[in-house]
């Protein structure tokens, strides 16, 4: 069976935008309103002769902070059980927030391979100082990505396929 790679992270960090960029079509709905992604959406992805199944995750309810956190925990638990590699997506424009820390520690304890994506790094060149905060998540080197422009997606996939 193909390896499974799950994309997890807070609402609105750009998971669906990244998913669509990586699979090269628009299967997943991108929206400014948190919570528009259906529960789980699957797409085929290929990189350096590796074929794998990419999974986008999200919630379906109108969000409150509590609902966001409980859905994130559930998505992270499902990803830990079913994925071979997990991409945790975070948002440069928000910095590291408490729920990032919580999910990062769940993922860390799972011993699954994790790739840390810092999305919305839209400008090319030296990363913003805020970028270095993401080392505090304890998941190794963050990868700077702009899912809108496509910058950094190759570096991200290089890290993912190293775990296959």
Strands (E), the chain: 4-9, 40-47, 50-57, 85-91, 114-119, 143-144
Residue nearest to Mg ion as judged by C-beta position:
37
Q: How many angstroms separate the CA atoms of 125 and 45, rounded?
A: 28
Q: How far is the CB of 12 from ligand GDP (least distance, A)?
A: 5
Does the annotation list 12 as a binding residue?
A: yes
Does the annotation list 16 as a binding residue?
A: yes
At 18, which helix (H) or strand (E)? helix 15-23
Q: How many angstroms separate the CA atoms of 37 and 60, rounded?
A: 6
DSSP type of residue 139 = S
Q: How many angstroms separate the CA atoms of 135 and 3, rounded?
A: 27
Task: By CB under 6 A, name the binding residues for ligand GDP.
Answer: 11-17, 30-32, 34, 37, 58, 119-120, 122, 146-148
Which CB sits closer to ligand GDP, 16 or 159? 16
Task: By CB under 5 A, name the binding residues for Mg ion.
Answer: 15-16, 37, 58
Which CB sits closer to ligand GDP, 71 or 147? 147
Q: How far is the CB of 161 from ligand GDP (least distance, A)?
A: 21
Q: Are 83 and 16 in contact (CB under 8 A)?
A: no
Q: How far is the CB of 31 from Mg ion (least distance, A)?
A: 7
Does the annotation list 122 as a binding residue?
A: yes
Q: How many angstroms separate the CA atoms of 43 and 35, rounded?
A: 19
Q: How far is the CB of 1 from ligand GDP (least distance, A)?
A: 26
Residue nearest to ligand GDP as judged by C-beta position:
14
Compute how many other C-beta atoms are within 10 angstroms of the C-beta atom of residue 58: 26
Does the annotation list 129 as a binding residue?
A: no
Structure tokens at 84: 């071979």
Which CB sits closer to ligand GDP, 87 or 139? 87
* Residues tagged in the binding site annotation: 9-16, 56-60, 119-122
* Residues tagged in the binding site annotation for GTP: 9-16, 56-60, 119-122
């Amino acid at each position: 069976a193909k390896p499974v790679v799950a994309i997890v992270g807070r609402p609105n960090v750009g998971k669906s935008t990244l998913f669509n960029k990586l699979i090269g079509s628009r299967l997943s709905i991108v929206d400014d309103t948190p919570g528009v992604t259906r529960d789980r959406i699957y797409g085929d992805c290929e990189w350096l002769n590796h074929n794998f199944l990419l999974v986008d995750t999200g919630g379906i309810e109108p969000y409150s902070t509590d609902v966001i956190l409980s859905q994130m925990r559930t998505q992270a638990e499902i990803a830990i059980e079913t994925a071979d590699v997990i991409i945790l997506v975070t948002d440069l424009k928000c910095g590291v927030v408490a729920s990032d820390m919580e999910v990062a520690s769940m993922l860390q304890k799972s011993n699954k391979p994790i790739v840390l994506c810092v999305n919305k790094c839209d400008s090319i060149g030296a990363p913003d100082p805020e970028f270095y905060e993401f080392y505090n998540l304890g998941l190794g080197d963050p990868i700077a990505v702009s899912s809108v422009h496509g910058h950094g997606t190759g570096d991200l996939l290089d890290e993912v396929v190293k775990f296959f």
